[in-house]
Amino acid sequence: MKTSLKPLIIAAEFSAIIAILSQFTIPLGIVPLTGQTFAIGLTATLLGRRSGTLSVLIYLLLGTIGLPVFAGLSGGLSIVFGPTGGYLIGFIFQAWLTGYLVEKNVSSYTWVIFANVIGSFVTLIFGVIWLKASGDLSWNTAIVSGFIPFILPGIIKAVAAGYLGTVIRHRLPNYFSFEQPQS
């Protein structure tokens, strides 16, 4: 398989965008409300599953090695393995699933927004599972602290990412194109 340099450069650029948007943070107890899920959804909507997931992996690698790209200008293994690490791991699956679904029908605003909502719920599920395990919490406590407060903000960010991503794709079709799946 031959890979050109352009998708790799774009994936790296979107890693930087994710890092910047991650700094928009509202503290809410153990798990803050951040711009990360919006950035991941936008990235997956614009780049699709392959380049979008690569972009997230680059972002996570940068944070894991200690660069301050995670929320609150944090980074390092302690963040990845801390109570919010499940959300970070969930971003990989959010990007892949959202990108995969977007590739099925990129021209439909409703479908792209649906793909983003589903993807954001995947991140929340990973986050809750990790939060329960790492914090030795009950399921009820993990869900109440790591899922319920983020449902409405997650939906709002997913709708915004899906809508904005679709607008950008329509306006710049030559810049943001990915291989359409074969039916």
Mean pLDDT over each residue of the chain, to the nearest integer: 91
The reply to whether 36 falls in a domain is yes
The reply to whether 178 falls in a domain is no
The reply to whether 55 falls in a domain is yes
The reply to whether 102 falls in a domain is yes
Count: domains in the chain: 1
Cα separations in angstroms, 149 against 80, 98, 99, 117, 155: 21, 22, 25, 15, 11
User: Which position has the higher pLDDT, 34 or 48?
Assistant: 48
- Residue 35 DSSP class: S
Where does the pLDDT of residue 104 fall: very low under 50, low under 70, confident under 90, or very high at 90 and above? Answer: very high
Using CA atoms, how far apart are residues 112 and 99, in angstroms rounded to an integer?
A: 9
User: Which position has the higher pLDDT, 95 or 31?
Assistant: 95
Closest C-alpha among 33, 38, 31, 23 to residue 72:
23
Spell out a b/e string for 7-31, using b for 16 or more CB atoms within 10 Å of the CB, else e. beebbeebbebbbebbbebeeeeeb
What CATH number corresponds to the domain at position 96?
1.10.1760.20
What is the pTM for the complete model shown? 0.89
Summarised one tens digit per residue, pLDDT across range 45-90 is 999 999 999 999 999 999 999 999 999 899 999 999 999 999 999 9
Tell me what pLDDT residue 33 has.
78
The reply to whether 96 falls in a domain is yes
The reply to whether 47 falls in a domain is yes
> What burial class does residue 147 get, using C-beta atoms within 10 Å of its C-beta: 0-12 exposed, 13-18 middle, 19+ buried?
middle
> In which domain, by residue range, is 138 found?
5-171
In Å, how far from its chain's centre is CA 11? 13
Summarised one tens digit per residue, pLDDT across range 11-30 is 999 999 999 999 998 877 66
> What burial class does residue 174 get, using C-beta atoms within 10 Å of its C-beta: 0-12 exposed, 13-18 middle, 19+ buried?
exposed
